[in-house]
Amino acid sequence: MLRQLSPESEPIYDFIIALHKHCNGDYDVVAKDAGLSKDDLDAYLNYAAQFLGNLGNYKSFGDSKFVPRLEPRQLKALATVSKTALGFYEQFKDAIFAGNDIAKLHLGYPADGHVSTYYPDSPDITKEEIAGVSDFLADQKLLPENTRMRKTKDGFEVLIASALSNPSSEQRDTKESEWTLDDGKKVKLVFGDYSKEMETIAQHIDEAKKYAANDTETGMMEEYAKSFRTGSLEAYKESQRYWIKDKGPEVETDIGFVETYRDPHGIRGEWEGFVAMVNKERTRAFGNLVEAAPKLIPLLPWDSAFEKDKFLSPDFTSLEVLSFAGSG
């Protein structure tokens, strides 16, 4: 998720964690070693909290950049107390502040000067080029949620998140992996984006399958693992079909490249995952409400013409979220 947000987000995160480990949470000692005042230390901790709360240095709702209320020299002084933290600081020291380029204070299309890691190494890729390739791939029945896109001298590379760097044609959603557009530019599928992470995730999904409560959950885990290893979003769609068939589970979970809000083109998904548990008491209460609905609906202050002929009872489950890994 950090890599999907901005080039500097990952080293900033590593810096915050390294500094915390170095002082074991005792930031007064760090402030003293760095020669910072209490207000300076509070400014750093406020930034760290904001960063961790948004999982990156752009607001999860609004996509605007926030910066520390510290002078660059003060942040460097903090970094010098730890050799590990200093190494990460060197990777983001210029990018963490506002700078003079106002456009980079917002996520958006690279050609407009904004920041987006969905289009890496492609500062001149245009909205029209993104749309053209996206429309072409849609014609090939290739879904975009787990992809990024890079402009090359020959055309475009579509980077697909997968553990395998060279899945077979049978494992892929399209038999072909390279095309030439009408204007002579090439479109090439490049598998293995985030390969290390995707393989780790797939391995853990395999382990989770051992604890599935039923065949539906087993099928869901198998399709997850297949999707994350091969990059197939058809397999991911199948996992979601299993997910909605898993009625009234004790533990509810979903994971993958889902919401498309952070991509300026609105089609590429951000990685997220959650685990939630059923609140049985509240579920029971709402279940009673659902059962009583046929008697209650006629009491509502509008005519039956505004209702369906027959009430379609939903499968209602009230969830308490244990963990949600995502920028929001």
Q: How many domains does the chain have?
A: 2
- Let me know if residue 214 belongs to a domain: no
Same domain, 90 and 150: no
Domain range for residue 177?
A: 110-195
- Let me know if residue 93 belongs to a domain: yes
Task: Write the DSSP symbol of residue 326.
Answer: S
Same domain, 184 and 147: yes
Same domain, 94 and 116: no
DSSP labels, 66-129:
---SS-HHHHHHHHTT-HHHHHHHHHHTTTTS--S-GGGGBB--GGGT-B-TTSTT-TT--HHH
Per-residue pLDDT of the chain (328 residues; tens, 9 = 90+): 999 999 999 999 999 999 999 999 999 999 999 999 999 999 999 999 999 999 999 999 999 999 999 999 999 999 999 999 999 999 999 999 999 999 999 999 999 999 999 999 999 999 999 999 999 999 999 999 999 999 999 999 999 999 999 999 999 999 999 999 999 999 999 999 999 999 999 999 999 999 999 999 999 999 999 999 999 999 999 999 999 999 878 899 999 999 999 999 999 999 999 999 989 999 899 889 999 999 999 999 999 999 988 888 877 788 899 999 988 7
Q: What is the pLDDT of residue 328?
A: 74
- Let me know if residue 203 belongs to a domain: no
Q: What is the pLDDT of residue 313?
A: 83
The sheet with strand 271-278 has its strands ordered as 251-257, 271-278, 319-325
Closest residue by Cα to residue 273 from 291, 256, 251, 297:
256
Distance CA(22)–CA(20), nearest Å, equals 5
Same domain, 114 and 97: no
Q: What is the pLDDT of residue 269?
A: 97
- Domain ends where: 72, 105, 138? 105
User: Contact at 8 Å (CB) between 209 and 180?
Assistant: no
Terminal Cα-to-Cα distance of the chain (whole angstroms): 11
Number of CB atoms found within 10 A of residue 77's CB: 18
Q: Which residues are within 8 A (CB) of 160 and not within 5 positions of it... i.e. 6 or more apart? A: 146, 147, 189, 190, 191, 192, 193, 231
Same domain, 160 and 147: yes
The residue to which tokens 């539906």 are assigned: 216
- Let me know if residue 312 belongs to a domain: no
- Let me know if residue 322 belongs to a domain: no
Closest residue by Cα to residue 36 from 3, 9, 75:
75
What CATH number is attached to the domain comprising 121? 3.30.70.2600
Ranges assigned E (strand) in 111-181: 147-151, 155-161, 178-180
Q: What is the pLDDT of residue 318?
A: 86
288 vs 180, 248, 294, 296, CA distance in Å? 59, 15, 11, 12
Distance CA(211)–CA(224), nearest Å, equals 15
- Domain ends where: 195, 218, 248? 195
* AA letter at 242: Y
145 vs 4, 25, 256, 266, CA distance in Å? 12, 38, 9, 9
Rg (Cα) of the chain, in Å, rounded?
24
- Domain ends where: 195, 212, 237? 195
Same domain, 149 and 123: yes
Same domain, 26 and 48: yes
Same domain, 91 and 148: no
